Structure 1
């Protein structure tokens, strides 16, 4: 099976609202297929879930509608009409645009909804999106998405104390990618120095407060 997308296309720069709506559509197409395609009300509720989301948001239906319109222009969402229901429904079309396989879609969906994750976190949270055999299979999918002609995800530098490096998608604002990279590339020595500086500042403030308190007590008792 060839997991490499057949047509290399430019990755769109999606904002946080578009990513949440797209991720929710991708998730529910697998976890609740009986309610997919989704109504605007159901999609809004999916975006605003308090579980399996980072960050948690509170979108209005208007926000979701506008995000859907932008996703349609990117070719990543479509409206479904007709049949026995008169209610307008929505579905994602990312698999059609990029020929992603189900395992690749599962990884991207989790990254869209939860932010940067380690292979272990991807494996444990995939759930009904895709049943990975083991961590090695997850790593294989990640490597395909990283090494594609047009990379779809990026590996971040492993943070101090972490056993695994995190991965993030590249469908968002490049500035956001740079932010995550800058955060993960802070040398441990520098991080420790920053902590020491903060502790020193707190100690100075406490010393100043102690002096001020003693002075006040002397004036009051004198």
Structure 2
């Protein structure tokens, strides 16, 4: 397995910022491109993020500038504030389904194909796990270099996890780390993922309502509280 030398090597913060931009483009399109405040909130979400981060505005701005220099992010002016969008699909030259899987890996860390299918549901409805695996295999076997890697199966695990390679080779501690423990009452990863999806859907609805409110306030010339 080789990693494409032409690909950008992203820091954890850059991967989080890029992942949020791709995710929000598909889950809250009315609010995309994102303002800095919306992007910061998405980066610091407590759900559907592994690891959970507490980034500052300055850290997100630095990551945006770095991504912009590598053509992965565009900056546009919308109303009174700057907005940010991604160019990941064009730079990486992969289909949208592959980009969605890559995004989930950037935002949630290593996942099995089954977990990826559930976590991707709001961005794309994969027909079955086999279709997820087909896109993963394609990214792992790219002639120019792999974008993802299949990790060794952990003791007692039924499925192998996948990890992205946009941050460079997978660290040894990631290879050895077990998935996060399930909370009380969750019987398996699928149930936990479904719970996370419901929370994400509610967060998306709140974000959409906030975006609509901001738009109305802007048209009326008043500042949203």
Tell me if both proteins adopt one fold, taking TM over 0.5 as the criterion. yes
Structure 1 residue 179: Cα displacement: 3.6
Q: Quick one: which of 42, 51, 56 aligns to 1:55?
A: 51
Aligned counterparts, 1:106-185, within 5 A: 106-149=100-143, 150-174=145-169, 176-181=170-175, 183=176
1:81 aligned to 52, 69, 77, which one? 77
Q: What is aligned with 1:16?
A: 12
For the 8 Å contact 1:15–1:173, the answer to whether it is kept is no
TM-score of the superposition, structure 1-length normalised?
0.74
3-state SS of paired residue (2:21): helix
Q: Distance in 2 between matches of 1:122 and 1:71?
A: 25
- Quick check: which one's helix share is greater? 1
Q: TM (normalized to structure 2)?
A: 0.73
Q: Secondary structure at the match of 1:81?
A: strand
CA–CA distance in 2 between the matches of 1:99 and 1:107? 14
**Aligned with 1:41 (options 17, 20, 37):** 37
> Structure 1, unaligned stretches of length 5 or more?
1-7, 185-222
Task: Specify every segment of 5 or more residues in structure 2 that has no aligned partner in the other structure, as ranges.
Answer: 178-225
Pairwise CA distance, 1:9? 6.6
Q: Relative CO higher for 1 or 2, CA cutoff 8 Å, sep ≥ 6? A: 2
Give the drift of 1:177: 3.3
Question: How many pairs does the alignment contain?
Answer: 173
Tell me how far 1:86 sits from its aligned partner: 2.7
State how far apart, in whole Å, the 2-side matches of 1:93 and 1:77 are. 6
CA RMSD of aligned residues (A): 1.5
Structure 1: how far apart are the matches of 2:5 and 2:36? 28
Give the stretch that moved more between structures: 43-52 or 10-19. Answer: 10-19
Alpha-carbon shift at residue 178 of structure 1 (Å): 3.9
Conservation of the 8 A alpha-carbon contact between 1:153 and 1:170: yes
Alpha-carbon contact 1:9-1:98 (below 8 Å) kept: no
Q: C-alpha offsets along residues 39-97 of structure 1, whole Å, 9 cap, x if unaligned?
A: 00000000010000001111111111001001112221110125xx1310000111111
Between the aligned partners of 1:66 and 1:161, the Cα distance in structure 2 is 41
